[in-house]
Amino acid sequence: MKNLRYRSIFDIIGPIMIGPSSSHTAGAARIGRIVRTIFGEEPEVLDIHLYGSFAKTYRGHGTDVALVGGVLGMAPDDVDLPNSLKIAHDLGIEVSFVVHKEEKADHPNTARLVVKKGARHMEITGISVGGGNIQVTELNGFNIALTMGTPTFIVTHRDVPGMIARVTDILGKHNINIAQMNVTREAKGDKAIMIIEVDTPHVADVCEEIQEISNLEHVNFFG
């Protein structure tokens, strides 16, 4: 949390949103939307685990509808956000809330979302740090640190020799400069994840080329 920096007065005032709270509503919607973007499709099952103040006030502050709306792809200012629970029900999405009032979390505004579709399963933990800003702290058991304020590639792959070089070669070929990179693996030869922050926005089209690398499972770009 010590690394968090506000970039403009709008980070303090808060975002344009459907209220009532930038932390509990706008931040929650952004957490849900990141989950949808990384998962890449509408889930069949959505289990939402709430901690800290999220667990205590989620209905009154609209955290529940914001998280679900985000998973449906809605932005914090989407006029349909208050109706997200009904929309999810109409789409056949099974939504459940698991409230952890007595469990301590690293941050009071913490949500862990578990999304499932068929054999696919993904878990993401996010926190709302104020002013609509968020951090993603865990992805499928990997400890990560994403503020989503910098253009970022997230690459999941098998831990085999040469994977980092293949991905970075493609970025270099497209003149995309790496600002920061973190690589984590479950175990030698098992699933791994690269989080690559870059200086260049609007380069999502490079994902198609990266996706062609053998032993690569999925790549997403934010920014």
- pLDDT score at 150: 86
Q: What is the pLDDT of residues 47-99, one digit of tens each?
A: 999 999 898 888 877 899 999 999 999 988 899 999 999 999 999 999 999 99
- pLDDT score at 40: 81
**152-222: CATH number:** 3.30.70.260
Residues lower than pLDDT 70 in the chain? 1-24
What is the residue-averaged pLDDT of the chain?
A: 86
- pLDDT score at 130: 80
**10-146: CATH number:** 3.30.1330.90
Contacts of 87 (CB under 8 A, 6+ apart): 69, 72, 80
Residue 56 class from Cβ within 10 Å (0-12 exposed, 13-18 middle, 19+ buried)?
middle
- pLDDT score at 20: 47
**Residue extents of the structural domains in the chain:** 10-146, 152-222
- The packing angle between helices 27-39 and 63-71, to 10°, is 30
Give the sign of the dihedral formed by CA 35, CA 36, CA 41, CA 44: positive
- pLDDT score at 22: 54
